[in-house]
Amino acid sequence: SYELTQPPSVSVSPGQTARITCSGDALPKKYAYWYQQKSGQAPVLVTYEDSKRPSGIPERFSGSSSGTMATLTISGAQVEDEADYYCYSTDSSGNHWVFGGGTKLTVL
Amino acid sequence: EVQLLESGGGLVQPGGSLRLSCAASGFTFSNYAMSWVRQAPGKGLEWVSTISDSGGGTYYADAVKGRFTISRDNSKNTLYLQMNSLRAEDTTVYYCAKCGANGGIDYWGQGILVTVSS
C-alpha cells in the first residue's frame, strides 16, 4: 500500500526556519496537503495543493513540492507553532488517500 | 462558517455495530466530497473513507473495507459511517471532514470517540 514518509521530529529555536519533509512516489503527480494538530484539538489545514495557503494561516507557513518530496516550511517559527504536522496525499489512482506518520515540531 | 458536527459514538462490544453521523452546515453540502478520518489515542491520523459529492463514488482504506460503509443524504446535509464487525483496533476518535476542490481535506469536525471493548 502507498506510504508517505515524514521525519518523526524536528526541533528549532524560536525565529529559526523549520522544514518538514514528506516523501512519496506519487507526489510528482499528486498534490500534497499539510495539517497542524495541537494537543487535544482537531487538525487544521495550513497549506494545500502543494503551495497554497488558506486564509487566516500566517504567511510564515509555506508549502512546496519537487519530485517525490513535499516540504512544509515555517519561516521564523514561533513557540505557538509547536504541534504535530501531517502531510496528506493520494496514491496514483487518486482514490486512496494516506497521511504521513506525522512530525512533532518542537520550538524552544 | 463551515461546521461539521459528529454524533453516534460511544462504547460498543467487539463484533458489534455503530453508525456515526455528521451534520454539515455553512456550505453547499451536495457540491463537495466528504471523508472520515480516525486517530487512535496517541497515534497519527488515518484516512478511513471518502464519498463523492453525489454519493456515487465511495472509497475505503484496506483496514475497513468490507466492514464500514460510507453514505450521505444530501437532502439532510448529513454524512454517515456505518461500522460493522467492530474490533478493538477500531477504538479511535473519528473525524468528519469536508474535501476541497481537488479532494484534500479543508475542514474538520471536532471528532467523536468510538470505544470497542467488552
The string of pLDDT tens digits covering residues B50-77 is 999 999 999 999 999 999 999 999 999 9
Q: How close A23 gets to chain B, by Cα (Å)? A: 16
The cell for A94 is: 487518486
pLDDT truncated to tens, each residue of chain A (108 aa)?
899 999 999 999 999 999 999 999 999 999 999 999 999 999 999 999 999 999 999 999 999 999 999 999 999 999 999 999 999 999 999 999 999 999 999 999
Reading the block at residue B31, the C-alpha cell is 457540491
Question: From the list B57, B61, B105, which residue is nearest A88 (CB)?
Answer: B105
The DSSP line for A27-74 is: TTTS--EEEEE-TTS--EEEEBTTTB--TTS-TTEEEEEETTEEEEEE
Kindly identify which residue of chain A lies nearest to residue B39, measuring between CA atoms: A42
CB B88 within 8 A of CB B14: yes
Query: Min CA distance, A74 vs chain B (Å)?
Result: 19
Tell me, yes or no, if A75 comes closer than 8 A to chain B by beta carbon.
Answer: no
- pLDDT of the residue at B91: 96
CA distances in angstroms from A64 to A68, B52, B78, B88, B95, listed in the order given: 11, 27, 34, 38, 27
Write down how long chain B is.
118
Location of C-alpha cell 506525522: A102
**B50–A99 C-beta distance less than 8 A:** no
DSSP conformation class of B15: T
Shortest alpha-carbon distance between residue B111 and chain A (Å):
7
